[in-house]
Amino acid sequence: MDQREQVTIYEVGPRDGLQFESQFFPTDRKIELINLLSASGLKKIEATSFVHPKAVPQLRDAAEVMARIDKQAGVTYSVLVPNLKGCQAALASRADEFTLFVSASPTHNRKNVGMSIADSLAGFPEIARLASEAGKSLRGYVITAFGCPYEGAVSLDNVRRIMEVYARLGVREASLGDTTGMANPPQVQRLVAELRRGFPEVNLAAHFHDSRGTGLVNTYAAFAAGVRVFDSSIGGLGGCPFAKGAAGNVPTEDTVNLCEEMGLDTGVDFDKLLQAAALVREVLGRELASGTSRVGRPRWSPGGQGESHCLPA
């Protein structure tokens, strides 16, 4: 029996990864992608967002995607819920979890959703009530938790204020978002330690972007500080249209490789994960950001021998 410490990889590729791709990712291929990710052993998948189709045309097929995916036992399928209207649409879907989001930066929040932080938070209680009545769990993002491209340093008080609301509403897990890759390891460890002390009832997750090449080192710093849930995106897809220069999310393949090399158990079958990465590469017609997909896992890794552990050239 595997006695390694377990960590959870929260896959955001189908939503955060694809949402701002200029080329529409066909609905059938989205469904195929989510099914492949489910088969790889990932236990949490952010499948789509019930946002207005004019705002995010890429996800205009959210209802169809959620209706047609092959849901697997033991896998939590989350959907991003931007507002009450989105919540009402999500309630009709087969989602297991609703995800809230708000930026700790006033400027970024206004550019992202056209509201103040206070106005965003004011809309959450009704969504939480409806989710609870429907038996849906809640997750929350704290966007720009480590820094803002418009304001620079972000107020810790703003982060605490958001966490207080999440805790009060029964949010089970809060993900700290490094939206434009501004975080550094000491900062990550300080913020995680502060929030674990202040909000022990909320499980913390870490969501890093690799804009400055620090995504994986920040992942390690978050682990060292006690985080055991890590958001990542297949192939490193993602970005933010309201954050100039923001690179994609930390690749799932690289995150899984890092964790497994550290002796941690992700529960992910790497060969099956590569099947999902291959589909993304095929549809988008370009190379992906994941180094591990290109060169494979180290030869001393469990199952790391042979060419099957990297994408074919």
In a domain, 53, yes or no: yes
> Does a structural domain hold residue 143?
yes
Q: Could you report the per-residue pLDDT of 172-181, keeping only the tens digit for each?
A: 999 999 998 9
Number of domains in the chain: 1
What are 65-83's pLDDT values in tens digits? 999 999 999 999 999 999 9
Q: Which residue among 87, 240, 259, 310 is the active-site one?
A: 240
Consecutive H or E run containing 102: strand 97-103
User: Where residue 305 sits, what CATH number does that domain have?
Assistant: 3.20.20.70
Q: Is the dihedral of CA 59, 13, 147, 167 positive or negative?
A: positive
What is the rounded CA–CA span in Å between residue 31 and residue 62?
10
Burial 94-124 (b: 16+ CB within 10 A, else e): ebbbbbbbbbbbbebbbbbbebebeebbebb
**Of the candidates 62, 54, 114, 110, the residue with the CA atom closest to the CA atom of residue 88:** 62
pLDDT-based confidence at residue 218 (cuts at 50, 70, 90):
very high
155: in domain: yes
Domain enclosing residue 49, as ranges = 8-309
Q: What is the pLDDT of residues 194-212, one digit of tens each?
A: 999 999 999 999 999 998 8
Average pLDDT over residues 305-310: 52
User: Does residue 310 carry a catalytic annotation?
Assistant: no
Strands (E), 132-282: 137-143, 173-178, 203-208, 229-232
Does 110 fall in a domain? yes
Spatial distance between the Cα atoms of 18 and 237, rounded to a whole number of angstroms = 7
In a domain, 153, yes or no: yes
Residue 2: inside a domain, yes or no?
A: no
Domain membership flag for residue 3: no
Q: Is 222 a domain residue?
A: yes
Euclidean distance between the first and the last CA atom of the chain, given in angstroms as a whole number:
36
